[in-house]
Structure 1
């Protein structure tokens, strides 16, 4: 595994490389570029010549820098190996799930974020088999607590649209803030993802504060079933074929896009 780090600390990336290389290898070289922009935590692009990880200095110098690098290396591994989660077009899944329906633009946008969660599940399956995920729990807890506290007084009202062809977002392309405050419905799904990830890897006990935060998020989004979306993420097959992953992505897309509303023909 060939690694080049530009513009920032090399230690967390070299540490991640050493650990990752005990179990896996990457055929293409990896370039890490550290940037000053704190809003762009991580972004990954792939080409025939190699993988490019752009990471903020804030993230590259954080306590989770090594774990973030491992996570991104796992995405690169899945990309090179053609894992179904990294070859399936989100655009195609949205078309299959929502053909003939009208959905809010905000929900359509959120579907791409949910697809990214599903890719993240498979990346985390790789790196958490090599390193403890204990640092991930307080990160998830803090992120969820901030989103719950930041809920809007009124739900956002975006126009309804018929799904067209929004571009696929890369597995680790950052998600921009969608509203002036956290959207309760996607916050509830994010809470379900956090719980599913923790349960999938036995990271928390049943009385952990994350459960209280998740139920608070769910209470703010009555149309979104926390249990249903947790099941979608937690029950992903560890080794799916293309058809199995496509069905899972279609199912979760349809469940979210039609949650809390009556679908319009």
Structure 2
């Protein structure tokens, strides 16, 4: 694996991630790591004909999660080189197949892209968690869900007295799906004890969105086939998209 770090910044997390990654996998194309000044720059990977590019802020590269972030992106690169259906299937094509004839609000479409990305992440993390420990990832999932679920419950506008929403700031539909993803990923890799706090957080998210079949999304994510053929993967993603848009109360027909 040819790793090339561009710009001043810490190199150790990327080299450590490379060492872990190479215990099970390799990449044919070189990886260019671009360290960005913008602290809000999200970590993301791009794929070109002659290279992979990992973009990451210097702040993220100096964080406690830096090695795990790099390892996760290396896994996405590996899936791309494998032509894995989750990483070469066009999301736009799936949305066209799933939502033809419907009018769907823009924010709901963005949620559908997020669901497709969850599936990509599951397949990437099948690699990530085969080469590295899962403790930091589990802590990250817990923290992210806890952030979406505000500490102070409040009553949604128009609700009957005594009806509380546990996640007032976040959209409850996609928060419930995000919770299903987090729980499914952790269960897929046996990261959880039966009394882990993630179960309580996920339950709170599910209670906030009764129109979302939380258990169905959890099952879909957890039981994704390890090596699907392109047609099967496309159909699963189409069905999952239809399920989300159909179940959400604010989707327009």
Q: Same fold (TM over 0.5)?
A: yes
Contact kept in structure 2, 1:222 and 1:260, CA below 8 Å = no
Offset from partner CA, 1:119-169 (integer Å, 9 cap, x none) = 0000000110111111111111111011111899759xxxxxxxxxxxxxx
- Give 1:50-69 correspondences, 5 Å limit: 50-69=51-70
Tell me which residue corresponds to 1:122.
Answer: 123
TM-score (norm 2): 0.90
Larger Rg: 2
Q: Alignment RMSD, CA only?
A: 2.0
Contact kept in structure 2, 1:152 and 1:182, CA below 8 Å = no
What CA distance in whole angstroms lies between the structure 2 residues aligned with 1:43 and 1:90?
A: 17
Contact kept in structure 2, 1:8 and 1:33, CA below 8 Å = no
Q: 1:255 aligns with which of 229, 235, 243?
A: 243
Contact kept in structure 2, 1:45 and 1:52, CA below 8 Å = yes
Tell me which residue corresponds to 1:5.
Answer: 5
Q: Shift in Å at residue 58 of structure 1?
A: 2.3
Tell me: CA distance 1:138–1:182, structure 2 relative to 1, closer, same or farther (3 Å): same
Contact kept in structure 2, 1:41 and 1:55, CA below 8 Å = yes
For structure 1, list consecutive stretches of 5 or more residues without a partner in the other structure: 156-179
What CA distance in whole angstroms lies between the structure 2 residues aligned with 1:260 and 1:80?
A: 35
Offset from partner CA, 1:5-35 (integer Å, 9 cap, x none) = 1221111101111121122111111011112
Contact kept in structure 2, 1:103 and 1:258, CA below 8 Å = no
Offset from partner CA, 1:182-230 (integer Å, 9 cap, x none) = 2111111100000000000000112111111111111111211211110
What CA distance in whole angstroms lies between the structure 2 residues aligned with 1:187 and 1:67?
A: 23
Contact kept in structure 1, 2:211 and 2:248, CA below 8 Å = yes
TM-score (norm 1): 0.86
Tell me: CA distance 1:264–1:59, structure 2 relative to 1, closer, same or farther (3 Å): closer
Structure with the bigger percentage of helix: 2
Contact kept in structure 2, 1:32 and 1:52, CA below 8 Å = yes
Tell me which residue corresponds to 2:186.
Answer: 198
For structure 2, list consecutive stretches of 5 or more residues without a partner in the other structure: 158-167
Contact kept in structure 1, 2:150 and 2:169, CA below 8 Å = no
Tell me which residue corresponds to 2:32.
Answer: 31
